[in-house]
Amino acid sequence: MDKTQVMVCFSLYGDEFSIDDVTEKLGVTPTEAFKKGDLIPNRSTVCYRKETSWDLGTGYQASLDVNNQLQQIIDKLQNKSLILNEIKETYTLECKFFIVVKIEEGNTPALYLSKDIIKFAANIEAEFDVDLYASPYENDFSD
């Protein structure tokens, strides 16, 4: 049986900036980073990155509560609001939390934002982007 999976990624992104500088200031190693102009691999047509990004993600994890993955990211950044805001101002960056849910067999996870997560996101002016992918499941609805 496939299990429902959740992935959360925090992204700092903008035109061009030093990924190494952001990593050093935050004291956190990104799980992925891309530079504007980098080739995007595995595409049927040639595509290049339109911006630079510093990303911290959980990868896909079996979960029925999105807060578990959000908290993993927040725990690494919680006390860094001032530094994040300085970095955003220095490089004119935006930040966003991406939440991706792959629903299997109708097992939908809890999707709510705790006060602590909302407060942290508000402090750094982060947006949330939520994607839901539901795999078809078979159910006999006839009586």
> What's the rounded Cα separation, in Å, for the pair 99 and 35?
22
Residue 143 has pLDDT above 60, yes or no: no
| Of 71, 78, 83, residue with least CA distance to 26 | 83
Residue with tokens 């795999």: 135
Residue 69 has pLDDT above 70, yes or no: yes
pLDDT tens-place string over residues 96-112: 999 999 999 888 898 88
What's the whole-number average pLDDT of the chain? Answer: 91
pLDDT tens-place string over residues 45-66: 999 999 999 999 999 999 999 9
Please, are residues 109 and 66 in contact by the beta-carbon 8 Å criterion?
Answer: yes
> What's the rounded Cα separation, in Å, for the pair 45 and 48?
10
Q: Give the confidence band of 139 by pLDDT, cuts at 50, 70, 90.
A: low
What is the model's pLDDT at position 135? 81
The beta-strand segments (E) located in the chain are: 5-14, 32-34, 52-57, 61-62, 94-103, 127-134
pLDDT tens-place string over residues 70-91: 999 999 998 999 999 999 999 9
What is the model's pLDDT at position 138? 61
Q: Give the confidence band of 19 by pLDDT, cuts at 50, 70, 90.
A: very high
